[in-house]
Amino acid sequence: MARGFGATTDQLKEARRYARELREEDRLAAEAQAQRQTVVRAEGDDPLWSLPPSDPRVRFAMLIEAYPAELRTRLAALGKEFAEAVLRLEEGDAAGAWQALSPFVEREPAARFERARAALASQQPALAASDLASFGQQFGHQRIGALHTGVALAQILASGGRHADALEACDEMLRKGPDLAVEATRAHLLHAMGQHPQAEQATVATLHKAPKDLNLYRLLGLTRLAQGNRMGAMQALESGLNVNNCSNPMKCGFTPPDVPSLRLLARLYLEDRLDPARAKEVIAMLQGLVEQPTWEDAYIVALAARNESRPGWPELVAQLRANLPGNDPRQAWIDKNLAPALGG
């Protein structure tokens, strides 16, 4: 183009040289800018943020940013090797993280929290329970990130069949002050232990403090059902479905209905042959939320087919039986609610 306007060879060489100089200046400026961005400046008196981004302590600092201040300070003081051990857990090496964290426990009791997380992730519940119990005695049970140390301890004890110990752990925590997560866990424990009237009372008391907790509405339904109060169970489950009702959803937000609650509610309506129109609405909600149907979903379909006398519904019952071991407690559902209609 320049030649077309009469540029000479020397002028073309000078233009090319000038273009090369401009490109080199741009490259040097870009490198300088990148270097300025990768240099981490110290903020206040915290030396951690003066470390290079590749240092594991920086990733560790981001990981524990939401921890309580005292715990964060104690763990950060354990240095680079401790940070690397915790990051092994985050990268999926739970067993290796547990081993790497163990030497730090004697130096700093707060390290038991991270070792408990590693024990849980590596399927060592007894070791996790021991660390969580020791941590709670030293620092008090508390919510750390997504984990409540006291609730986790109670759940581990209960999963190992130690329900009485789990209940005592909850009671001990509540003697130190109210805690909704612990109160809800205690209500679940009472239900699991067969103390259904006490479980119902505890659930209602907790619901007054946490009226949007869908798990509690389901628990209330289960405690009432266990006491033979089927209508009361339905009312509790329906109340859970009404949690999302508000005049302005943009302000009050939306929580999807609880799928296990919908299943239980559909079962009760269909088993008792109550309010067919409402039963259909509940089933429609359930079908809109379930991607992979379960045996219980098939049981609900069989109940609906029985109630409507659809052709072929006895074959659905036969399939339900075939998909359960003979000693499965759900066989009793079939015996009580479907078999009589078959004359068996």
Between 219 and 341, residue with greater pLDDT: 219
Mean pLDDT over each residue of the chain, to the nearest integer? 87
pLDDT in the model for residue 105:
94
- Dihedral (Cα; 114, 115, 119, 120), 10-degree rounding: -20
pLDDT in tens, 146-203: 899 999 999 999 999 999 999 999 999 999 999 999 999 999 999 999 999 999 999 9
Between 76 and 230, residue with greater pLDDT: 230
Averaged pLDDT for residues 99-110: 95
pLDDT in tens, 284-293: 999 999 999 9
**Residue 261, CA distances (Å) to 276, 285, 341 in order:** 18, 11, 26
Strands 143-144 and 147-148: antiparallel
pLDDT at residue 40 tops 60 = no
pLDDT in tens, 242-270: 986 555 545 555 678 899 999 999 999 99
pLDDT band at 57 (very low <50, low <70, confident <90, very high): confident
pLDDT in tens, 68-85: 999 999 998 998 899 999
pLDDT at residue 2 tops 60 = no
pLDDT in the model for residue 159:
94
Beta-bridge partner residues of 144: 147
Question: Which phi and psi angles does 157 have, rounded to 5°?
Answer: -60, -45
pLDDT in the model for residue 341:
77
Range with the poorest average pLDDT among 133-142, 253-262, 310-319: 253-262
pLDDT in the model for residue 61:
84
pLDDT in the model for residue 288:
92
Averaged pLDDT for residues 199-223: 97
pLDDT band at 41 (very low <50, low <70, confident <90, very high): very low
Q: Percentage helix, strand, coil, to 5, in the chain? A: 70, 0, 25
What is the reported pTM?
0.78
